[in-house]
Amino acid sequence: MTCRLVRDLLPLYIEGDCETETERFISRHLESCGKCGSLYHMMKEPLDLGSPEMKAPACYAEEERRFKERYYGKLLIKAACMFGAVFFIMLVLKLLI
């Protein structure tokens, strides 16, 4: 239970947002527990994300093209149906007047 509690509180401990008594408890636990201590050191170090420019795999381009075809195809069908419905309503109104 203690390790679990310390692991939950580690982000707050690293940021300095814990109470003084909680900080003392966590620091004592980190000195005695190797697993929690290594997790603390790993969390404290900045994360290197590598190069900021990531390239998408080639299959994404094909998937995006198929998505756009489906999306714009459905959009075109909806627009044609709306146009037909409005045209039909106008035609009925013209015949009634």
- Residue 3 C-beta-side C-alpha neighbours within 13 Å: 8
Domain count within the chain: 1
The answer to the question of residue 76 being in a domain is no
- Classify residue 67: in a domain, yes or no: no
Q: Of the candidates 1, 59, 2, 49, which has an alpha carbon nearest to the alpha carbon of residue 30? A: 2
Specify if 81 maps to a domain. no
Evaluate whether residue 75 is within a structural domain: no
Residue-range definition of the domain harbouring residue 17: 2-44
- In order along its 97 residues, the chain shows pLDDT tens digits of 589 988 899 999 998 888 889 999 999 999 999 899 999 988 888 777 666 666 667 778 888 888 888 888 888 899 999 999 999 999 999 888 7
